[in-house]
Amino acid sequence: KIILDIAFANDGRVILHKWPEEEHWDEMYVRQKSLEIGRIAGGTHFAIVDCDEVLTANNLPVVRGWFDGLNPGEVLDVPMIAPWQSLDVYSFHTKGVITLGWKDMPGMGWAPRGDEKYHYHNRPPHGMTSRLNAPVESGGVFHLQWASAERVIWKHRHYMMSERIRWGYSTADINAKYHWWNQSPHGDLLMAIPGQWWDGYEKDRIDLESTSWYEGECLKLVEKHGAAAFEGLNLFGWVPNGA
């Protein structure tokens, strides 16, 4: 609805592309298709904007300057701020970065990786010349997936189940990959989010309570493949057969 409202208010400046509904989410193909659409529209600089990410408000006045300073092929990274089970505190131990965007050049893009054609967890495009850290004085980009424990758990259940049936990865590897975040010390040292990081945003529009759409997708996978296909996965206490 938000995107449709923006498109209506900016006639001709917003291109909507709906990806076909399929069992598997082919993330690398989706990213590449978006890039190709942007290039046809004349784009030279690209930002990656996910629906669970928000640039901290104190950086809004300077972000365009960060992009203006890029050379072709340079990718821009910013600190990741991880609000922890609320919108008021964040995990000081979560020290990752988020690729915010880049200045385009031929050869940049995305493709699935390896013989198994793996589609997840590759944010920056291939073919870049370098990755730069934005000159951030404070803040960065909120990554809101950890703001609701229930919703992120359903998301990770779906990723774990998908990796098991699509690529046959071992249960031990999958469990290790998706359980790191809910173990110490990530939730042990929490700091208050400064007010200026939210200043001017309609924070109350962020919904942390509604049922995650991933829950229904997990149930579809069980219905199609059977509970036995997911034996051994530590799905955060959820047993696919409902027992």
Separation between Cα atoms, residue 151 and residue 106, nearest integer Å: 38
pLDDT band at residue 241 using 50, 70 and 90 as cut-offs: confident
> In this predicted structure, what is the pLDDT of residue 185?
58
Separation between Cα atoms, residue 235 and residue 153, nearest integer Å: 8
Q: For 163-222, what is each residue's pLDDT tens digit?
A: 999 998 999 999 999 998 776 556 668 999 999 999 999 999 899 999 999 999 999 999
> In this predicted structure, what is the pLDDT of residue 242?
53
pLDDT at residue 3 greater than cutoff 50 = yes
**In sequence order, what are the residues at sequence separation of 6 or more whose Cβ sits closer than 8 angstroms to the Cβ of residue 107?**
126, 127
pLDDT at residue 243 greater than cutoff 50 = no
Q: For 134-150, what is each residue's pLDDT tens digit?
A: 999 999 999 999 999 99
Alpha-carbon torsion (233, 170, 212, 242), positive or negative = negative
